[in-house]
C-alpha cells in the first residue's frame, strides 16, 4: 500500500519496501532483484542488504508491509462520529476491492502472498496471521452495526465476517483479471447485496 508520506519523510526501510512493492506489482515477484529495488528506492545495494539480509527476506517483508499498511489505513482510521456503522461497512467493502490505482496494486501483491503461502510452508503462518487481522477488521465493522442496532441482532458476527471475506476475495480476483462478467462495480454490488440480506439492510445502503 503506497504511503501518503513524501519520499524524503519516509525512513530508508519504508522507501525500500515501497520500491519492492512497486516492482513486484509491475513485473512479478520472480523478476525483482535487489539492485533494481535499490535504484528505485534511491538507495545503495549495501543499504538494502543492511536492512534485509536476503532477497527472499526483502520480498516477504514487502508483501507483509503492503497487507498491513493497507489494513491499517482502511480499517484502523479514527472513528468518525458522523459515520454510521452501515457507512463504515460500505466503505470497508469498497476499499477491499481492486479499484484501479493503489487498491489494484495491493491486490496484485496479495495474490503473490497467497501463491507463496501455498508453495512455501514456512510462509503460511505469516499469511494466516495477516488473514486473521483481516477477519478481525471485518468482524469489528459488523459488530459495531449490531451494537448500534443498525444490523440484525441475531447475526453470527464471526461467520458473516468469513462470508464477507470469501465474497470479496472471490469476486475480487475475477475483477482483477478483467473477467468480462465481473467488473469491480458488479463485484461491489454482489458483495453489498449478499451482506445486506444477512444484515437486514437495503442493499443500496452498502453501495
Q: Read off the CATH number of the domain in which 19 is found.
A: 1.10.10.60
Range of the domain at 190: 77-207
Torsion from C-alpha of 49, 53, 59, 62, nearest 10 degrees: -70
Whether 72 maps to a domain, the answer reads no
Global pTM value: 0.79
CA-to-CA distance for 124 and 135, rounded, in angstroms? 16
pLDDT of 26 reads: 87
| Domain identity same for 133 and 200 | yes
Residue 71 lies in a domain: no
Q: Are residues 127 and 187 in the same domain?
A: yes
Q: Note the pLDDT of residue 116.
A: 83
Does residue 113 fall inside a structural domain?
yes
Most confident by average pLDDT, 8-22, 48-62, 168-182: 168-182
Give the pLDDT mean for 174-181: 96
Same domain, 125 and 84: yes
Both 126 and 198 in a single domain?
A: yes
More confident residue, 154 or 207: 154
Please enumerate, as own/partner, the contacts of 120-125 that have beta carbons within 8 Å and a separation of 24 or more.
123/60
Share of the chain above pLDDT 90, in %: 57
Minimal CA–CA distance to 20: which of 95, 148, 108?
A: 108
Q: State the pLDDT at residue 5.
A: 47
DSSP sequence for 6-42: -GGGS-HHHHHHHHHHHHHHHH-GGG--HHHHHHHHT
Cell of residue 3, nine digits:
504511503
pLDDT at 1: 37
Q: At 81, is the pLDDT very low, low, confident or very high (cuts 50, 70, 90)?
A: low
How many domains does the chain contain in total? 2
Per-residue pLDDT band at 113 (split at 50, 70, 90): confident
Same domain (yes/no): 36, 100: no
Which of residues 21 and 123 earns the better pLDDT score?
21
108 and 203 co-located in one domain:
yes
Tens of pLDDT, residue by residue over 24-46, are 888 888 888 999 999 999 999 99
Q: Are residues 59 and 101 in the same domain?
A: no
Amino acid at each position: 500500500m503506497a504511503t501518503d508520506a513524501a519520499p524524503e519523510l519516509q525512513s530508508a526501510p519504508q522507501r525500500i519496501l515501497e520500491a519492492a512493492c512497486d516492482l513486484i506489482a509491475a513485473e512479478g515477484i520472480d523478476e525483482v532483484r535487489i539492485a533494481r529495488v535499490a535504484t528505485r528506492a534511491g538507495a545503495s545495494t549495501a543499504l538494502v542488504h543492511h536492512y534485509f539480509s536476503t532477497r527472499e527476506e526483502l520480498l516477504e517483508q514487502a508483501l507483509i508491509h503492503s497487507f498491513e499498511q493497507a489494513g491499517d489505513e482502511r480499517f484502523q482510521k479514527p472513528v468518525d462520529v458522523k459515520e454510521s456503522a452501515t457507512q463504515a461497512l460500505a466503505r470497508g467493502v469498497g476499499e477491499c476491492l481492486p479499484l484501479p490505482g493503489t487498491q489494484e496494486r495491493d491486490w496484485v501483491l496479495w495474490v503473490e502472498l497467497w501463491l507463496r503461502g501455498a508453495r512455501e510452508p514456512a510462509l503460511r503462518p505469516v499469511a494466516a496471521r495477516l488473514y486473521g487481522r483481516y477477519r478481525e477488521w471485518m468482524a469489528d465493522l459488523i459488530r459495531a452495526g449490531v451494537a448500534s442496532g443498525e444490523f440484525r441482532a441475531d447475526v453470527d458476527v464471526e461467520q458473516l465476517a468469513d462470508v464477507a471475506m470469501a465474497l470479496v476475495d472471490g469476486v475480487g480476483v475475477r475483477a482483477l483479471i478483467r473477467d468480462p462478467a465481473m467488473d469491480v462495480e458488479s463485484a461491489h454490488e454482489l458483495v453489498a447485496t449478499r451482506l445486506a440480506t444477512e444484515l437486514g439492510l437495503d442493499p443500496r445502503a452498502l453501495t
